[in-house]
Homo-oligomer: A and B are copies of this chain.
Amino acid sequence: MRKKLTERQLEILQFIEDFVEENNFPPTYREIGKKFNIASTFGVKRHIDALVKKGYLTTESNSFRSISLKDRKKNVNCEENNYVSVPLVGKVAAGYPVLAEENIEGNISLDASLLKSKGNLFGLKVQGDSMIEAGIFEGDLVIVKSQKICQNGDIIVALVEDESTLKRYVKKNGKTFLMPENPDFEPIDVTNNKNFQIVGKVIAVYRSFN
C-alpha cells in the first residue's frame, strides 16, 4: 500500500489523471496551478514532489510535461483483470498504420500470462503455408508486436512490394533475407529493397482445431 495522500495532493493527482485522459499528455505546473489558484509554480512543484515521493507519479527532472502516472491503465491494451485486449487486424497494407481503425476487425482478449511482450500488439490470421516447418499453418492466429526493427532470426510480418508476408528475418554475409520455412518456397533477398518494410515481430501463435 502506498503512502497516504493529503486532500490537496489527492485533488491534484485526480486533476492530472483527468488531464492526461483528456489530452494524452500531462499538464505543466502552471496549468495545474491555474486550476487550483496556486500562483507560484513552486507551490505546485512541492505537491508533485510529494506525489513522486509517495509513489504515485514519476517525472523527468528538467523536462517539460514529463509527469507520468504510475501504474495507470494504458488505453492501448486494456489490462484490467490481467486481460490484454488485442485488435484483430484484417489486412496489412503499405502506407497505413497497421493499427489504424479501418483495419481492425475485432478484438481478442488474452490472459496477460500468455504474453511475454508488451507494446502495440495485434492479431493476424495467417494466409499461406510458407512457415509450416516453424509450426505456423494457414488459418493460425499470430500475435504480432508492432515494430520497425527486429533481431536476426525473428519471425516477422513484413511488407514486400505491398504484399504482406510472414517469414523469418535472417541477416547473413551483409545481406538480408526473408526465409520461408517450407522447402517449396524460396528465400527473398530484401537487401536494399526499398519496398521492404518490417511490420512487426511474431510473439505467439494460436491454432484451434475443428
Residues of A within 8 A of B (CB): 1-2, 4-7, 10-11, 13-15, 17-18, 20-21, 23-26, 28, 56, 64-69, 71-78, 80-83, 85, 87, 95-97, 99-102, 106-111, 113-120, 132, 135-137, 140-141, 143, 146-148, 154-155, 197, 202-210
Contact = CB atoms under 8 A, between A and B. Distances in A.
Q: How many copies does the complex hold?
A: 2
A114 B86 CA distance: 13
A84 to B, nearest CB: 10
B108 A114 contact: yes
A210 B206 contact: no
B115 A208 contact: yes
A176 to B, nearest CB: 16
Contact of A21 (B5, B13, B56, B74): B74
Nearest to A203: B209
A75 B74 contact: yes
A78 to B, nearest CB: 4
A101 B71 contact: yes
Contacts of A147: 14, 18
